[in-house]
Amino acid sequence: MQFTFNVALLSIFGKEEILYRDALKRCYYTLEQGYNSMPINVPGTLFHKAMKARKELAQILAQIISSRRQRKQDYKDLLGSFMGEKAGLTDEQIADNVIGVIFAARDTTASVLTWIVKYLGENPSVLEAVTVSVWVLPPFFFVNFEGIKIVKLLKNDSHQNLICN
């Protein structure tokens, strides 16, 4: 799920805030561990560590927001849209939204992957079609437009297999 986290950060911050990635990741994973723990705010508990990580995460996001406001550039990423005048959000609301988006990106990806594995396990013919399709493709096919066209063709082929079965 580290890939999902990096994609979420890229969509939220773009390529500019790359130097904050390790700190954001560390705080987020600590927060995530305490997310479903017993809500006992006593030093040493997962919940307490998560609350501290949440504060640190908010401070990092405040630094990013502050430095962006000083640069006075127009950013085309998600954080830029949150910071826009039309959004009318406070810095704290922006931080809450960013954290929510990261949680959503990780949770939905995990859910989708779980359902895909379940579906493939229950439908051996679809699993076979997907397996054959993956082995036919060269490893670099996602890199260019031709690869994307191949994926679209495979998608159509998979839909036809589902209809016929």
C-alpha dist (Å) from residue 67 to 9, 12, 62, 89: 17, 15, 9, 17
The structure tokens listed for 51 are: 């609350």
- The reported pTM is 0.65
Of 33-47, 67-81, 118-132, minimum mean pLDDT range: 118-132
- The sign of the CA dihedral 36, 42, 44, 50 is positive
pLDDT digits (tens, 9 = 90+) for 115-149: 788 888 888 888 887 777 666 666 555 555 555 56
Every domain of the chain and the residues it spans? 2-115, 123-164
Average pLDDT over residues 89-105: 90
